[in-house]
Amino acid sequence: MSDNFGRYFVNAIVAGLLGRITAVIKTEIERAKKEIAAKLKGIGVGIGLIVAAGVFAFFLAGVLVAAAILGLATVWPAWLAALTVAGGLLLIVLILVLIGSSLIKKNKDLTPQESIDNVKSVVGLS
Domain extent listing, the chain: 2-123
CA distance 59 to 31: 42
CA distance 122 to 125: 8
**Is the CB of residue 93 less than 8 Å from the CB of residue 60?**
yes
Residue 21: pLDDT band (50, 70, 90) is: confident
- 77 or 102: whose pLDDT is higher? 102
Please name the amino acid found at residue 98.
Answer: L
Residue 50: pLDDT band (50, 70, 90) is: very high
Residue 94: pLDDT band (50, 70, 90) is: very high
Say which DSSP state 75 is in: S
In this predicted structure, the answer to whether residue 69 has a pLDDT above a threshold of 80 is no
What are the angstrom distances between the C-alpha of 109 and each of 11, 39, 40, 93, 105?
A: 41, 8, 10, 26, 8
64: nearest Cα among 77, 82, 88, 78: 82
- Give the pLDDT mean for 24-47: 91
